[in-house]
Amino acid sequence: MKAYNETWVHNKRLMEYVARWQRQGMLDAAKLAQIQAKFPVGFRESNGFIEIGLFVFSIVATSGSYFLLATLLGQLFNHDVFYHVFNIGSGLAVGFLAGRLINSRNYYRSGVDNALVIAAVALVTAGVVGLLPNNLPTWQYCLIILPLVLMGVWYYSDLLLTMAAFATLITALFDFFLDFPAGKTGLPFVLMAISAGLYGMARRYENRDHLVYWRDNFILLGWLSLTQLLISCNYFAVRQLHYWTLDKRPAEAPEIALAPLFWLLTTAVPIVLLYLGIRQKERPLLIMGAIGWGLALATWRYYYPVFSLEFYLISNGILLALTAIFLIRYLSVPRNGFTDRPDEDSPKELFLNAEALSTIQATSGHPGSKEDMQFGGGDFGGGGSGERY
């Protein structure tokens, strides 16, 4: 039992493939309509700009009602317990409202539902944390919040909640490990290990059929964990972090233990990411590898500025532009599975074996519809449905 209709989510993902194949000319419009009829998606069509507006004004409305109620019931809040119970109660009410709206108006990540889900989970967690004793260390609060947020992610598959869960986990780790000396040294390595582990998990599960409801959450987790990985192995980040944790701060951040190792990691991790990205053809790895390499260069220039800043800007600008120009020219014909052509292009040119494509096109045309009529799918096989789309 989930917040959104799981079949529709499944069909939505399936139709993304089908629509791409149709755009690439491998299925005709009539076939697309036929498939659409068999795999219906009942969610409301939406528009990104409207979603932004709906999100913002739903937050405005929710805050208004929350503060209004809280002010009216203000007399009761002499006892803290009432206030925290009120928070939990209003969180549940908002969650209930979200559920009603999702069902009745067929919302799916339409702005209103996102806003209400965030508000519901935030209010419930605030209430729960309020009911806990006041003097717990932060990491314990985080570990209590985390399952609540994860339940929200499980039920709603919300992306902002996924970010919140990730941030909660990282905060818990920070707070826990910074409390003792060995933990301070170990924190970067723990974060690296956790990020790598989470990335592995995200990659492993993002394409599982039975987990399709959370596909976007796993993809987001992949990006988040790669970002965290790059930060936790970066020499600059580690040195600054060490500086902030010192009781007495000197004018400048002091050298850290294991500095050579962190320098190595700062440069090596992006290279490894790039290498893996090229081998596995994974976009997040390639992009984060490139960004990480930029970060590594910036770190190096920060500590060892050999030339002036504009020299670095100009030389790196030229280098980047030349690399891009070289690669665009080099990949104008496909090499090693890479190409410069946009994804949505028809595979005609990409395809070494042009015969195969003509076969698909030939079979996906009208003969295909006739065959379907034989199987009793005549309702969808007509030209009318094609025109309707």
Partner 1 sequence: MSPERVLQELADQQLINDKQRAGIQTVEDHKLFSAHWELRSLLYVGILLFTTGTGWLIYKYIDQIGHTFLIIALSVLCAASFAFAVRYKGTFTRGRSYSRSPFGDYALLLACLLFLSLEGYLQYQYTIFGTRYGLVTFLPAILFLSLAYLFDHRGVLAMGLTALISWIGVTVRPLEFYFKGNLKDMTVLLSALALSIFLMVGALMLDRQRIKPHFTITTLGFAGNLLLVALLAGLFNFENLHLQFALALAVACAGFDWYARRERSFLFLLMSTFYGYIGATYLVFHYLHLRDEATYLYWLITGIGVTVYLSANRKIDAVPGVKSEEGKN
Please, which of residues 38-57 interact with partner 1 by CB under 8 A?
Answer: 38-39, 44-50, 52-54, 56-57
Stretch in the footprint of partner 1 (CB under 8 A) among 20-28, 145-153, 181-189, 196-204: 20-28
Considering the rule CB under 8 A, would residue 368 count as an interface residue with partner 1? yes
Q: Are 369 and 33 in contact (CB under 8 A)?
A: no
Verify binding: residue 321, partner 1, rule CB under 8 A.
Answer: yes
Q: Pick from 21, 51, 25: which is nearest to 36 by CA?
A: 21
Stretch that binds partner 1, among 89-97, 160-168, 222-230, 372-380 (CB under 8 A): 372-380
Write the Ramachandran bin of 157: left for phi over 0, alpha for psi from -120 to 50, otherwise beta: left
The reply on whether position 389 binds partner 1 by CB under 8 A is yes
Q: Are 84 and 73 in contact (CB under 8 A)?
A: no
Give the nearer residue to partner 1 in terms of CB position, either 130 or 377.
377
Residues of this chain, 106-135, that bind partner 1 according to CB under 8 A: 112
Binding of partner 1 by 246 (CB under 8 A): no
How many residues of this chain bind partner 1 (CB under 8 A)? 96
Question: Is 372 an interacting residue with respect to partner 1 (CB under 8 A)?
Answer: yes
| Interaction between residue 342 and partner 1 (CB under 8 A) | yes
Q: Is 353 in the site for partner 1 (CB under 8 A)?
A: yes
Q: Which of 204, 283, 366, 383 binds partner 1 (CB under 8 A)?
A: 283
Angle at the Cα of 168 (from 197 to 232), degrees rounded to 5?
50
Binding mask 206-235 for partner 1 (x = CB under 8 A): -x-x--x--x--------------------
Q: Which residue has the tokens 């799916």?
A: 108
Q: How many CB atoms lie within 10 A of CB 110?
A: 22
Least distance in angstroms from the C-beta of 289 to partner 1: 11
Binder to partner 1 among 96, 302, 323, 384 (CB under 8 A)? 323
Q: Are 2 and 349 in contact (CB under 8 A)?
A: no
Find out whether 239 and 181 touch, Cβ atoms under 8 Å. Answer: no
* 316 contributes a contact to partner 1 by CB under 8 A: yes
Among 2, 40, 68, 305, binds partner 1 (CB under 8 A): 68
Residue nearer to partner 1 on the CB measure, 245 or 359: 359
Q: Assess 7 for contact with partner 1 (CB under 8 A).
A: no
Query: How far apart are CB 13 and partner 1 at their closest, in Å?
Result: 5
Closest-CA residue to 161 (of 106, 98, 230): 98
Residue from 87, 95, 171 nearest 131 by CA: 87
Measured distance CA(278)–CA(32) in Å, rounded: 34
Nearer to partner 1, 61 or 144 (CB): 61
Minimum CB distance to partner 1 smaller for 193 or for 322: 322
Which residue do the tokens 């500086």 mark? 243
Orientation of helix 235-245 relative to helix 181-205, angle to 10°: 140
From CA 324, how far away is CA 340, in angstroms rounded?
11
How many beta carbons lie within 10 A of that of residue 270, not counting itself? 24
Choose one: 145-153, 223-231, 298-306, 366-374; the region binding partner 1 (CB under 8 A): 366-374
Q: Note whether 375 binds partner 1 by CB under 8 A.
A: yes
373 contacts partner 1 (rule: CB under 8 A): no
23 touching partner 1, by CB under 8 A: no
59, two tokens: 């937050």
Kindly calculate the radius of gyration of the chain based on its CA atoms and give it in whole angstroms: 27
